[in-house]
Amino acid sequence: MLSPVKVLVVASSLAALVLGAAGAARTATPKTTGVDPLIRIAVRITDNQITVTLKKVARLETAYFRVVNTGKLTHDFHVGGQKSPALKHGQVGHVLVQFADRGAFLYRCALHCSNKMRGFVQVYSPIG
């Protein structure tokens, strides 16, 4: 027969084992959702080229394109189904896009631009 001290030790060990297993089996509670990340991307349009500072963004991040026309002609900027207004020399425009799908999305200029004034923004999934 076990002494009362041994019974107490065995019972407390068993309780600790059961509570530890239950705690380990619990799933993590989701954290509070915050504001979507805003990725700032600078775009400079000249009469000969478009320069985009960041060409790779994660899926579901909001991309904020700040478009500056440094050329002499009027230009605009198209990306992800959105476009900036026509920008004269020195004007600044903004385009907000949230890419829901992965892949390559064309960006381009449509006003007074050659076919070479285009490129792609790569959208990837950070999860895999």
Closest CA to 81 of 45, 123, 26: 123
Q: What is the pLDDT of residue 26?
A: 45
| 107 CB-contact burial (10 Å; exposed 0-12 / middle 13-18 / buried 19+) | buried
Indicate if the pLDDT at residue 21 is higher than 60.
no
Residue 126: pLDDT band by 50, 70, 90 thresholds? confident
Confidence of residue 97 (pLDDT cuts 50, 70, 90): very high
**11 pLDDT exceeds 70?**
no
Per-residue pLDDT tens over the stretch 30-87: 555 655 678 999 999 999 999 999 999 999 889 999 999 999 999 999 999 999 999 9
- If pLDDT is split at 50, 70 and 90, which confidence band does 115 have? confident
End-to-end CA separation in angstroms for the chain? 58
| Rounded Cα–Cα distance for residues 19 and 27 (Å) | 14
Q: Could you tell me whether strands 82-83 and 118-124 are parallel, antiparallel, or unpaired per DSSP bridges? A: unpaired
Looking at residue 24, its amino acid is A
pTM for the model stands at 0.70
